[in-house]
Amino acid sequence: KNEVEQSPQNLTAQEGEFITINCSYSVGISALHWLQQHPGGGIVSLFMLSSGKKKHGRLIATINIQEKHSSLHITASHPRDSAVYICAAYTQGGSEKLVFGKGMKLTVNP
Amino acid sequence: EPEVTQTPSHQVTQMGQEVILRCVPISNHLYFYWYRQILGQKVEFLVSFYNNEISEKSEIFDDQFSVERPDGSNFTLKIRSTKLEDSAMYFCASSQGAGATGELFFGEGSRLTVL
């Protein structure tokens, strides 16, 4: 049983489209990361949030604690946004380990 | 911008050999982590390390694995006798605060191939 689920698993979009990536989790969490994994494998943290909404450039992340759901939105998508987007959560109780979702592979075509 | 660096980027080894993966965390960080990702699968937590001791570990992190911070800058993951199933990308990460209290920075990963 996966504690962190992502949908869809793959998404192909055209440049300029608005993209939404969803993440749901089945356990109580203290915070959630949105991560970007490049084709070479490296991982970068985009956001860590425990409530509300955060924005950075064309990226917006939201979280609804009651519904156990988070979304990552990309506005005006660009081919350089092509990557795997992963959500990962810290479970409640002070755990230091991140529980990862399987990731969503995004391809943005020019 | 500060970064976590990992070496080697790729290592090929024979089954049964010892492997040491090295990481240099960001200099003022206090919490250190190893994660791994088997090809095509999700990233999995291995171990967290603080104040020179393991603070949390997963079921994967058995007696074949060990971590240490030998000199105050490097953070190493040792696999004593590698198995085929240890083939994976290993990521080091560091943060100033524990878990949800600190921004997490990952290295580029070390790809381990066990033949």
Encode pLDDT of A62-109 as tens digits: 999 889 999 999 999 999 999 999 999 998 877 888 999 999 999 999
Geometric angle at alpha carbon B78, from B77 and B79, rounded to 5° = 125
pLDDT given for residue A53 in this prediction: 96
Enter the DSSP assignment of B110. E
Q: Can you tell me the mean pLDDT for B94-102?
A: 86
User: Which residues of chain A are within 8 Å of residue B111 when distances are taken between CB atoms?
Assistant: 41
pLDDT given for residue B75 in this prediction: 96
Minimum-distance CB partner of A98 among B45, B103, B108: B45
Tokens of B84: 């085929």
Q: Chain B residue with minimal CA distance to A102?
A: B42
Q: Could you give the CA distance from residue A5 to residue B95 in angstroms, rounded to a whole number?
A: 25
Minimum-distance CB partner of B100 among A30, A44, A101: A30
User: Which residues of chain A are within 8 Å of residue B43 when distances are taken between CB atoms?
Assistant: 43, 86, 88, 98, 100
Q: pLDDT band at A30, cuts 50/70/90?
A: confident
Position B11, amino acid? Q
Encode pLDDT of B76-85 as tens digits: 999 999 999 9
Q: Which residues, 6+ apart, have CB-to-CB distance to B99 below 8 Å? A: A30, A31, A90, A94, A95, A96, A97, B31
User: Which residues of chain B are within 8 Å of residue A98 when distances are taken between CB atoms?
Assistant: 35, 43, 45, 104
Enter the DSSP assignment of B27. T
Minimum-distance CB partner of A86 among B43, B100, B111: B43
pLDDT of B2 higher than 80: no
Bigger pLDDT: A8 or A10?
A10
Q: For residue A38, give how far its alpha carbon lies from the nearest alpha carbon of chain B (Å).
A: 9
Q: Could you give the CA distance from residue A62 to residue B62 in angstroms, rounded to a whole number?
A: 37
With b meaning 16 or more CB within 10 Å and e meaning fewer, what string describes A71-85?
bbbbeebeeebbbbb
Percent of chain B having pLDDT more than 90? 85
pLDDT of A1 higher than 80: no
Encode pLDDT of B17-58 as tens digits: 999 999 999 999 999 999 999 999 999 999 999 999 999 999
